[in-house]
Every structure is written in C-alpha cells, then in structure tokens.
Amino acid sequence: MNAPESLISASVLREMAALARQTPPGALVEVGVYRGGSAMWLSELAHEQMRELYLFDTFTGIPYKTHPDDAHNVGDFSDGLTHEQAIALFPEAFVVAGVFPNSAVGLNLDHVAFAHLDVDQYKSYCDAIAFLYSRMIDGGIMWFDDYDCLPGAKHAVDERLGSPRIAPCGKRYWRF
C-alpha cells in the first residue's frame, strides 16, 4: 500500500486494519489524523466494506496541555495535513476539523465499530473515550495508539476503562 507518511509502523498499521476488518458493520473513526498514514489504511477498509469513515483532527497540532503526564506541548504536530489536504486525500470520508469531541456534535455517530485514538494527551483521551464509549457497538474496538509510550494516554485509558487487551504487535485496544 502506498500510504502517506505515518509515525506508526506498517506492521502495526496492518494489524490495526486486520482488527478493524473483523468488527461488525458500523462506522470507522479516527481521532488524530496527523499526516494521514493510518487514515489511509482505514480509508481503504471503509471503501472495501462500504463503511462510513470519520476523520477528526484539529489540523493545527496539539490543542492543550492540561495534565502533568502530558508529554507534548500545545502546537506540537502542527506540521501535519491541513484540513483541505485531508479532504482532498480522503474524498469519501467525513473529514472534520476542530477539537474532538466538540467537533463531532451533531454528527450521526451512533454505531461506531472501530475507533483509532491517536490523541497523545490525557484530556484528549479522556474526552474521546467518554464521547465514543456509548456509541461503540457490541464487538466494536477502540484502539489506543499512545498507550505504551505516553503516560497521559495510559493514565486516561486505565482510569476510564481499566487494563486494555494487548494485540500481538504490542498495541492496546478495548473490545466492546
């Protein structure tokens, strides 16, 4: 697959997409698009399985630093795709700019089968989990990109959900 640049390895992206492929029918969601590498994998899957794909990002970098465990500063990752570039790269997706979950208000996100959270910071993880939790379908998966490398992400996931499962690649996820 000729994908845009990603900070996530191709082997991890393959495993993420394989898990997403096995979820029941429902929407695919990514919060934290950055340069679009993982979104490309989800876009291919959405097209293949005729699923809706929602891509959320500020498109201006990290929006806030509110917790002692947060490793990144406001504005980090501002070198990612612009909103316009993401729309052009993913024409079949709903590409939404703004701070999640405020940016999702009013969208039809009642049946989420797979959610890839790559939001780095404690508050961003807390907010994303709180918003998506009741919208996940039975058998759905929430994938946590930053669990093992960013303390704020781990703290938020453990606090909100408990210990997640471990995929063979070492990444963490929660099955509903």
pLDDT, tens digit, 9 for 90 and up, residues 117-135 = 999 899 999 999 999 999 9
Q: What is the pLDDT of residues 89-127, one digit of tens each?
A: 999 999 999 999 999 999 999 999 999 999 989 999 999
pLDDT at residue 1 tops 50:
no
**CA–CA separation, 126 and 138 (whole Å):** 21
Task: Give the three-state DSSP class for 138.
Answer: strand
Whether residue 25 contacts residue 110, with contact meaning beta carbons closer than 8 Å, is answered with no
Alpha helices in the chain (DSSP H): 10-21, 37-49, 83-89, 122-133, 151-161
Average the pLDDT over 35-53 and give the result.
Answer: 96
Q: What is the pLDDT of residues 54-100, one digit of tens each?
A: 999 999 999 998 888 888 889 888 989 999 999 999 999 999 999 99
At the second CATH level, the architecture of 10-175 is: 3-Layer(aba) Sandwich (3.40)
**CA–CA separation, 143 and 90 (whole Å):** 21
